[in-house]
Structure 1
Amino acid sequence: MLTAREIFEKLSEWPHRGCGSENEMEAREALMAALTGEYGVDVTDQGFKCPRTYLPFFWMIAIGQAIVVLLSPWAPAFMLGAGVLLFFSHLLYFDWRTSPIIWWGARSVTANVSATKGSGKRLVILMAHLDSAPSSYAYRPDQVRHFKLSIYLGTFIIGLGVLIPAMGTQDVVLPHWAGWIVTLLLLGQAVVASVDFWRFGYTPGANDNLTGVAAATEVASRLWKTMPTDTEVRLVITSGEEAGMLGAQHYWRQHRDELKMRDTHVLNFDTVGFGNLSFVTESGGFTPVYYDGPLVRTAAAVTKIDKRYSHVKAAKHHVGDFDSVWFARDGFSALTIAAYDDDGLMPHIHTPDDTADHIDLAIVEDAVRFGEAVIRTLPKT
């Protein structure tokens, strides 16, 4: 049986696993080699092209809106249309929904890993993302507490790309210097979003999300060893999460018809190496995502009927979102297990400090046991 500890230690050999990088490819191949040793398990990878990070999207929005603002005096109606498209792309992205231009610039080849065993009406998917995040100024300890405020402020600045050409259609033309100030604001926020990546590159990604990969893999291995009846157990390790949860979005689109025909449950593990183990009942950006399906109800029941898990609490996630969001919004039974500090945050993530020495593997192993208990307690529907 594969253990979270050995998977974590093995994949920690790579300094990072940036989406589409050679490091990510090598780490993925090492994981697939380990999974191939599992008896009766079919292991495949499903390749796709993806942006390396979310930063190309940020720059497309910023540069596009800057052009809209500067050209508004000459073609306000046309610029208004372009500004609306860019603004709603931004809104959809930060509400963690499918955005029209997020896949533009998808040139890096990466892959999701799928390992499966069993058959039956029920399908249990254990999910986690392998790629590590770009270093981000917004996640610095002194900034992350203001994450939502920075999103709202950025959205207001992007919204000027709609307001200014809209004023132009009413023959209200701003002075040239005002347009240049807005342009500097637009480009400035893209610079702030990029500066730590330019300085430090990708993070080591020990907590976010090597811990999740290790936990999901051991849960799958435990279930494969003693299979639940009438159930297929599938491990899905995604890429492109740090570019906008694109690997999971790709998997959801490719397999949606199959998943809809079955009794499907998606249990996602993300950042389970530090703090208080929790199961997420609410996330989302501008609009909330509520997790209230069979997996959530079972997780809540397990914490009440088994004293070993009475310390696991329901939590609301306030910064970003998870791979499970596509499935939850589409009506699937979905749940993410994560861990938070006493302030409800995930320390060190998206920074160069997300290293193995900050990880408590006992929490990862606790996540494994809790995740397995949830799946084995899950009632049949």
Structure 2
Amino acid sequence: MDDDHHDGLKAALEQTVRSLAGIPRLPASRGEAHAAELIRRRFEAAGCTVRVDPEPAYHSYAQPIGLLCAAGAAAGLLAGRGGTWRAAGALVGSAAAWGIVDDITGGRLLARRMLMRPRTTQNVIAETGDPKADRTLVVLVHHDAAPSGVVFEQHLEHWLAARHPEVIEKMTSNPPMWWPVIAGPALVGLGSALRIAALRRLGVWTSVLSAAALADIATRPAVPGANDNLSGIAVAIAVAEALAADPVQGIRVRFVSAGAEEALQQGILGFARRHFGRLAPDRTWFLNLDTVGSGRLVLLEGEGPVRMHDYDASFKALVADCADQAGVTVLRGLRSRNSTDGSVPQRHGYPTATLVSVDSGKLLPNYHLYTDIPDNVDYTCVAGAVRLTEAVARRLA
């Protein structure tokens, strides 16, 4: 790619990010719907066939999980009275811990069903490529933005990276942030059942802290979400434009911009219910792009908030080979203790790969912070994701 073309691509990517970053895009909100409409127009301008699917979605993970933590704390306090209260503490604490696991792993979402009313999110689905092909590449992104919270402050991470870079260099995944949240009610249940007061009290305090942190998140406005995930939106639109200028044969390319990802994959779960039955797992691939403007692209090996689940090895190898051929450097060997939209097709048996990015210190800068603005996006990194995504589409074709 010559310098003029590269500079033009970066300018176009930045324009896309800036055009959307000023819209508050909390999951299943009016702002999210407005952004979906603008994205629909951009894909139509790129020559794609486009539809917008409204899907029922619960707008927050923080509210139901926070209430489960509060229930665990209350149960632990009451269990201190002994007698039948102790049995109730064991039951409620265990049930709350199970409910949290069910929610964050995309299970039956029983807590949300009982505690919340669904709203509506918007999935933008654009298609290009060969309409007669029986194989499909799904390029998956999301257009909503997260609320912030005290737990996302990065002072400790920056201190550790500055003082002990050797520790960061050895890390192959981020800390499991959800484990303490699960542990609080679980310790209440275990301590109550075993009559170990210290264990129960530890569970109470852990649950209280988790509930407070989640209440903080639940009341915050949206961050600008320039990197997370307008960088992915910009890549998808740029690839659609490239495939319109130089079409591919032998494969359909479907761009799915999902809503409510920041409420733990609500939009893509709706897409799964509506569309997975018509997408054959042996002829469909999912390439998930989430936060690709931090500086260094990462091809994740796997992800999972509770248990780690590795992505399809053969598709990861294909993506890595495409990166080599396209001259795009991707970092390997990293896994995520969070979850992205890519976890949903992965659970359904589709070959899936996820591209994210980190900075020079292997950290994710401005994650869920109000500093996630267009000025802090590395557009050279985003341009690399464009080249790689287009290369994957042409390889599969």
TM over 0.5: same fold?
A: yes
Q: What is the deviation of 1:294?
A: 4.0
Normalised to the residue count of structure 1, the TM-score between the two structures is 0.85
- Mapping of 1:126-145 within 5 angstroms? 126-143=139-156
Which of residues 36, 45, 50 is equivalent to 2:57?
Answer: 50
Q: 1:203 to 1:361 in 2, by over 3 A?
A: same
Q: What is the deviation of 1:271?
A: 0.6
Matched residue, 2:362? 344
Matched residue, 1:4? 13
Question: Partners in 1 of 2:310 and 2:235 — Cα distance?
Answer: 24
Residues matched between the structures, number: 366
More helix by share: 2
Q: What is the deviation of 1:127?
A: 0.9
Q: Which amino acid in 2 is paired with 1:114?
A: I
**CA contact 1:295–1:374 (8 Å) conserved in 2:** no
- Residue 158 (structure 2) pairs with residue 148 (structure 1): no
SS at match of 2:285: strand
Q: 1:341 to 1:152 in 2, by over 3 A?
A: same
- Mapping of 1:244-323 within 5 angstroms? 244-260=264-280, 263-306=283-326, 308-309=327-328, 311-323=329-341
Q: 1:261 to 1:377 in 2, by over 3 A?
A: closer
Q: What is the deviation of 1:111?
A: 1.3
Q: 1:81 to 1:183 in 2, by over 3 A?
A: closer
Q: What is the deviation of 1:356?
A: 1.1
Matched residue, 1:123? 136
Matched residue, 2:231? 211
Matched residue, 1:186? 207
Q: Which amino acid in 1 is paired with 2:140?
A: M
Q: What is the deviation of 1:174?
A: 5.3
Matched residue, 1:108? 119
**CA contact 1:53–1:134 (8 Å) conserved in 2:** no
Question: Partners in 2 of 1:327 and 1:276 — Cα distance?
Answer: 25
Question: Partners in 2 of 1:323 and 1:173 — Cα distance?
Answer: 40
**CA contact 1:282–1:290 (8 Å) conserved in 2:** yes
**CA contact 2:148–2:222 (8 Å) conserved in 1:** yes
Which of residues 337, 345, 353 is equivalent to 2:371?
Answer: 353
SS at match of 2:368: coil
- Residue 240 (structure 2) pairs with residue 233 (structure 1): no
SS at match of 1:148: coil
Question: Partners in 1 of 2:203 and 2:298 — Cα distance?
Answer: 42
Question: Partners in 1 of 2:342 and 2:149 — Cα distance?
Answer: 22
Q: What is the deviation of 1:322?
A: 1.4
Which whole-Å deviations, capped at 9, do the CAs of 1:279-335 have from their partners, x for residues lacking one? 2122223321212344311112123344x22x2222413341211111123321111
Superposed CA RMSD in Å reads 2.8
Question: Partners in 2 of 1:356 and 1:322 — Cα distance?
Answer: 21
Q: What is the deviation of 1:76?
A: 5.1
Q: What is the deviation of 1:186?
A: 1.8
**CA contact 2:181–2:206 (8 Å) conserved in 1:** no
**CA contact 1:220–1:234 (8 Å) conserved in 2:** no
Question: Partners in 2 of 1:248 and 1:333 — Cα distance?
Answer: 16
**CA contact 2:103–2:110 (8 Å) conserved in 1:** no
Matched residue, 2:165? none
% identical equivalent positions: 23
Which whole-Å deviations, capped at 9, do the CAs of 1:2-59 have from their partners, x for residues lacking one? 9534422321342x311122221211111112223333x3211111232322211222
